[in-house]
Every structure is written in structure tokens, then in C-alpha cells.
Amino acid sequence: MLRFILRRLASAVPTLFIVVTLSFFLIRFAPGGPFSLERPLPPQIMENMIRAYKLDLPLWQQYLNYLANVVQGDFGPSYVYRDFSVGQLMLQSLPYSMQLGSYALILALVGGVSAGVFAALRRNGLVDHLVMSVATVGVTVPNFVIAPVLSLVFAVFLRLLPAGGWGDGSARFLVLPALALALPQLAVFARLTRGAMIEALAADHIRTARAYGLSARAVVVRHAMRGALLPVVSYLAPAAAALLTGSVVIETVFGIPGVGRYFVLGALNRDYTLVMGTVVLVAVFITVLNLVVDIVYALLDPRIRHD
């Protein structure tokens, strides 16, 4: 297992290199620049700004300089938030996105798996159709529709929860954004779990367990659940990365000062280094979470061994 982990970590290096390289050149080939304003700056000031941020260098030299800085953990200065470096912005905003994303991930995972198992045990019944109908709505309706509706109902009409803001970080401020962020993923987990559980319950070893007189609960929890969780675990890495690194829609609607909004703000303002910082952050999250998923997958399925 240790050798497998080391191999995966080694293979992550060229993957991150490709992500950084593609992102670096793609954003620079896009029209406009970080200092392209509606009211253009005077030529002398524009020239000084470009020279100060070393944008007057050849593109290949900018690329090599950026790679050298990233290896040292320096993502450069922000072109828009000029009093801050990209690293400082990430450090300030990441805890908010991580906390919100953690709550949303737990809610989506526990709620989705529970709903999927519940529906599979009552296959083709009223409960099954109800759960799958709600899950279909959750998958198809985007969170930029869900978030304002939740805020309107629970904050404006019922006045039960705050409409937005971080406040003191207590649960009452995080219920609505975490729920809005979790609902689409919860629906996906429910559908994956239902299909996998139905397949697992039809397996030969499950029939054998039932023939030995094991209780229905023991059959489901001890035997069927391991197989039913495999597709859920496979989907967990990209879902967790998306939730933990924040959602620009949710953070914008509820006024959460997280990472997600910086990606869109950086793209709109052509803040090259800020966009690159968020891209690298997401890539690192996905790489690490994929490694964790592979390890959990091996623990759930004894047929899989990583030598």
C-alpha cells in the first residue's frame, strides 16, 4: 500500500504540471488583460504597471518564472487586489470554504446514502418513486435557483434563519448555504446508492447470507452496504473537491467570503495569478482526494489490492 501511495504521489507531479501549463497559456490567450479598463490608464502609467508586474517579458520567460515561483509556494501578487498576494487571499478565504464545504459534504453523503438505501429496500414502491423523483429534481435544478428560493422561504417569509453573511460562523448562519450547496450532490449520491444497493442485494453472496438465516439488517449493513458504497466512493473525490473549494454561486448569494468567488472575479478581471492560484488549489484537492478514494476503495472491496 505504501508503494502504491508513493507511486500515485509521483504521478501527480506531471498531472499538476500539465494543469498549470494549460491554465497559464489559456488565460493569456483570452482577449483583454489585467489592466484593460473601461477608462484606459494613461500610456506612461500603463507601461509602468506592465513593467512592475513583469508582463513585458516574453511569454515563455513569464511561464518559467511562474513555474519557479509555484515550486517555492509563491503564487505571485494579485493584479486586482494589489495590497495582497494570491497566497494571502487563499489563506484568508479557504477556511470559510472548507468549513462550509465540510458541512455540505457530510450532509450530502449521509443524506444521499440513507435515501438511496431506503429507496432500494422498497424498490418500485411509493417511497422509492418519491425519493427518485426528488433526486431527479435535485440533479436537474441548479443551485443558483435553489439558493435564492431557500433564502426567500426560510429567511424572508418564515424568518427562521439569516438570509446571508458569515456572522459568527455558528450553525444558524451556515444551514441555508450548506443545504443549497449539498442538495445537488445529495441527489447524485442517492441515485448512485440506490442502483448499487439493488445490484448488491441480487448478488449470490447476499442470497447465501439470507439462506443462513441472517437478519435483514445484518445482510444490508454487513454485506450489501460494502458493495453499494463503491460507486459512491468513486464519485466522492470530484464531489468533495467541488464542495470543499467553494461554489461561487452559493458564496455570492449568501455573502460567504470564500475561495469560489475569487475564481470568477479573477477570470472577469483577467487577474492571471488569482485564477492560476484557484486552479492549482482545486487540482491539488482533486489529486489528494483521488488518492484517498483509491485507498478507501481497496478497504471496501477485498478483491482490490494495491501492491
Go through 68-97 and write b for each residue having 16 or more CB atoms within 10 A of its CB, e for each that does not: eebeeeebbbbbbbeeebbbebbeebbebb
Q: Is the pLDDT of residue 296 over 80?
A: no
Query: Where is average pLDDT lowest: 17-31, 138-152, 258-272?
Result: 258-272
Confidence of residue 110 (pLDDT cuts 50, 70, 90): very high
Question: pLDDT tens digits for 45-69?
Answer: 778 878 887 888 888 999 999 999 9
**Could you tell me the domains of the chain?**
93-256 (1.10.3720.10)
Q: Is the pLDDT of residue 6 over 80?
A: no
Helix, strand and coil content of the chain, in percent to the nearest 5, comes to: 75, 0, 25
pTM score, whole prediction: 0.80
Q: Measured between alpha carbons, how far is 12 from 209 in angstroms, rounded to an integer?
A: 41
What pLDDT was estimated at residue 111? 92
Confidence of residue 284 (pLDDT cuts 50, 70, 90): confident
Whether the CB-CB separation of 116 and 192 falls below 8 Å is answered with yes
What pLDDT was estimated at residue 64? 92
- DSSP assignment of 38-96: SSPPPHHHHHHHHHHTTTTS-HHHHHHHHHHHHHTT---B-SSSTTSBHHHHHHHHHHH
Q: Is the pLDDT of residue 216 over 70?
A: yes
